[in-house]
């Protein structure tokens, strides 16, 4: 009997992925349906619905779900969910689709799913702006005092993505027919929730923490993971292997860095490295909640939340992704509420005076004694061939990252931001 936290939503793992003869038959049917081209984000969302990562979702959200999620963190039935999972289509496509129709969802010539369209609703510019304000506007300098709409349309990748969405959304259940490139490109790393749960059960884990990563794992990340190892049965180092913004380091490079760290600096049986197939939404606090929500499906009941989790620019307060967990609705129904809780860790760094890793809660020394560097500034230093401050990263990992940057044929411009000592997890 598993001791792990139940999947989110009270329905077990809801998996929309078809296999075998059932998949073959649906693919054959899909060839005769209207073909709708989807975004990279929708592809990742479909795969997560397929493998149970987005349980209890079985399709794209209705207008009532979209509105409830944006406004109250709850779908129409009261189930907690922090960010909209919607499918946008052009006005031309929408004109050819009626409620009740079945369509095929394709990307770059590959069929990813079929969908039964239950609802079609328009997304006006005002609707999109309202969604952006609810989901992406935070408490940082670039969100307050009227700055959000001056800065976000050009500098916030999540806002840019939503404002570029097409004119209509379609809602309805899906049958997922492909996991894309992930099983072949990331064997042993790309794991479904049922697989991580089986792995945790095999190890006898009941109390599991997750460390979310979209950057190479530096000393602060390592420290966070080791704090969790001390108080939990084990830690899942869970890397994003979907799409990032330009300048971010590819998943295979980051995963190799994690393998180097686990091999040399962790007790292997207390930690596991895996990846998940979503694109970043850069929704800061809301994305921190999303990370906890789908990690619950993977068997995780503690989500490590450090400073500026999933942040971008100066749109969010450094610890806003921690405090938002105290503000979300709680119904008292474990089938509807978020059960994965945050492990709130203060600003961490290496301190020369302490002669070790520390945080603002444990280190009494001034900032001159502390080694503080963001993932953004690390990428910029590596891209520029600059020296990395001592004790920020393990030498073996930095050597691996330098090798990657030295092999690039085209330099990517990396923009830094004002408060960006914050670690972009």
pLDDT at residue 422 in the model:
38
Q: Under 8 Å CB-to-CB from 146, ≥6 apart: which residues?
A: none
3-state secondary structure of 93: helix
Average pLDDT, integer, range 33-57: 98
Percent of the chain with pLDDT over 70: 96
pLDDT at residue 65 in the model:
98
Q: Where are the domains of the chain?
A: 20-123+165-180, 186-406
Average pLDDT, integer, range 16-24: 98
pLDDT at residue 411 in the model:
65
What does pLDDT average to over the chain?
A: 93
Options 214, 219, 295, 307, the catalytic residue: 214
Would the pLDDT of 413 be above 70?
no
**Overall pTM > 0.75:** yes
Confidence of residue 414 (pLDDT cuts 50, 70, 90): low
* Sign of CA pseudo-dihedral 152, 154, 155, 159: positive
Would the pLDDT of 36 be above 90?
yes
3-state secondary structure of 212: strand
| Nearest-5° Cα angle at 250, 402 to 213 | 100
3-state secondary structure of 80: strand
* Unique residue bearing structure tokens 């609707």: 127
Contact in structure between 401 and 300 (CB atoms under 8 Å)? no
Average pLDDT, integer, range 348-372: 94
The sheet carrying 370-371 orders its strands as: 356-359, 348-351, 370-371
Tokens matching residue 355: 């002669």
Confidence of residue 424 (pLDDT cuts 50, 70, 90): very low
pLDDT in tens, 92-140: 999 999 999 999 999 999 999 999 999 999 999 999 999 999 999 999 9
Q: Under 8 Å CB-to-CB from 109, ≥6 apart: which residues?
A: none
197 has catalytic annotation: no
Q: Is the peptide bond before 267 cis (omega within 30 degrees of 0)?
A: no
Would the pLDDT of 420 be above 50?
no
For 187, other C-beta atoms within 10 Å of its C-beta total: 9
pLDDT in tens, 140-169: 999 999 999 999 999 999 999 999 999 999
214 has catalytic annotation: yes
Options 215, 297, 301, 302, the catalytic residue: 215
Q: What is the CATH number of domain 186-406?
A: 3.40.50.620
Residues 20-123+165-180: name the CATH superfamily. Answer: Sulfate adenylyltransferase (3.10.400.10)
pLDDT at residue 305 in the model:
95
Percent of the chain with pLDDT over 90: 84
pLDDT at residue 421 in the model:
39
Would the pLDDT of 409 be above 80?
no
């Amino acid at each position: 009997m598993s001791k792990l936290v139940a999947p989110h939503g009270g329905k077990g793992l809801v998996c929309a992925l078809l296999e075998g003869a059932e998949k073959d038959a649906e693919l054959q049917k899909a060839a005769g349906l209207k073909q709708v081209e989807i975004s990279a984000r929708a592809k990742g969302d479909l795969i997560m619905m397929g493998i149970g990562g987005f349980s209890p979702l079985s399709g794209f959200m209705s207008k009532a779900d979209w509105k409830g999620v944006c406004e109250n963190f709850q779908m129409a039935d009261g189930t907690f969910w922090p960010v909209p999972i919607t499918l946008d289509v052009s006005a031309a496509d929408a004109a050819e689709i009626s409620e009740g129709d079945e369509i095929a969802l394709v990307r770059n010539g590959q069929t990813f799913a079929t969908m039964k369209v239950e609802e079609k609703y328009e997304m006006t510019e005002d609707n999109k702006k309202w969604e952006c304000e609810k989901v992406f506007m935070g408490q940082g300098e670039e969100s307050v005092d009227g700055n959000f709409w001056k800065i976000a349309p050009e500098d916030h990748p999540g806002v840019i993505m939503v404002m570029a969405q097409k004119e209509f959304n379609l809602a309805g259940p899906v049958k997922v027919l492909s996991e894309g490139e992930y099983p072949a490109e990331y064997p042993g790393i790309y794991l479904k929730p049922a697989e991580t749960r089986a792995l945790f059960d095999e190890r006898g884990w009941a109390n599991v923490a997750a460390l979310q990563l979209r950057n190479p794992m530096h000393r602060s990340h390592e420290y966070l993971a080791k704090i969790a190892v001390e108080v939990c049965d084990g830690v899942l180092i869970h890397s994003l292997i979907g799409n990032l913004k330009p300048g971010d380091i590819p998943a295979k490079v980051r995963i190799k860095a994690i393998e180097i760290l686990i091999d040399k600096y962790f007790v292997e049986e207390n930690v596991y490295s895996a990846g998940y197939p979503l694109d970043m939404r850069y929704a800061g606090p809301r994305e921190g909640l999303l990370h906890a929500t789908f990690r619950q499906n993977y068997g995780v009941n503690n989500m490590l939340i450090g400073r500026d989790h999933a942040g971008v620019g100066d749109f969010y307060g450094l610890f806003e992704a921690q405090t938002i967990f105290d503000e979300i609705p709680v119904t008292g129904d474990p089938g509807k509420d978020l059960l994965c809780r945050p492990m709130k860790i203060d600003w961490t760094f290496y301190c020369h005076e302490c002669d070790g890793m520390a945080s603002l809660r444990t280190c009494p020394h001034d900032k001159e004694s502390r080694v503080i560097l963001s993932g953004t500034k690390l990428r910029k230093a590596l891209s520029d061939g600059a020296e990395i401050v001592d004790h920020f990263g393990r030498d073996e990992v930095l050597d691996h990252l330098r090798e990657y940057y030295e092999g690039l044929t085209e330099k990517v411009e990396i923009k830094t931001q004002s408060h960006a000592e914050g670690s972009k997890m």
